[in-house]
Amino acid sequence: MNADNIFQNVQKGFRVTLGAAGTFVDSLQNPRNGEEAWNKLRTNPDQLVEELAAKGEMTEQEARTFVDGVFNSAQNAATSSATGRRTTNQGPAAPPDIQADLEVLTNQIAELRKELQSLNKPDGK
């Protein structure tokens, strides 16, 4: 198994987990959704996994858009304060504690990416 397959499997697992978490929240809000998910799990688990992966991918893209907006907003604010100009807000603003959490998560993702890239090298170093 090469590193690309490992990365794809980890990415799909992550997306399925995101989709499952979203489905769980949906089922708390509407129990019928939870029943439908359990029925799909019993009758056609492969279809459920694909649906969860698609839902997770959509959630991942929304999160990426949000994070990019936060970072662009912070970068624009830093640029405008450094140059003395005022700019309009390009994206949603997040409280400082959420920004700190996002930075920690981003660093963790960068570390995981480095590990996966090192696995992709032929000598494993």
Domain containing 60 equals 3-120
**Highest mean pLDDT (candidates 67-71, 81-85, 120-124):** 67-71
Please report whether residue 29 resides in a domain: yes
pLDDT of 90 strictly over 80: no
Please report whether residue 125 resides in a domain: no
Domains in the chain, number:
1
Alpha helix ranges (H) inside 1-125:
3-29, 31-43, 45-83, 96-120
Mean pLDDT of 7-21: 88
pLDDT, tens digit, 9 for 90 and up, residues 31-43: 887 788 888 888 8
Please report whether residue 97 resides in a domain: yes
For residue 34, the tally of other CB atoms under 10 A from its CB is: 15
Predicted local confidence at residue 70, as pLDDT: 86
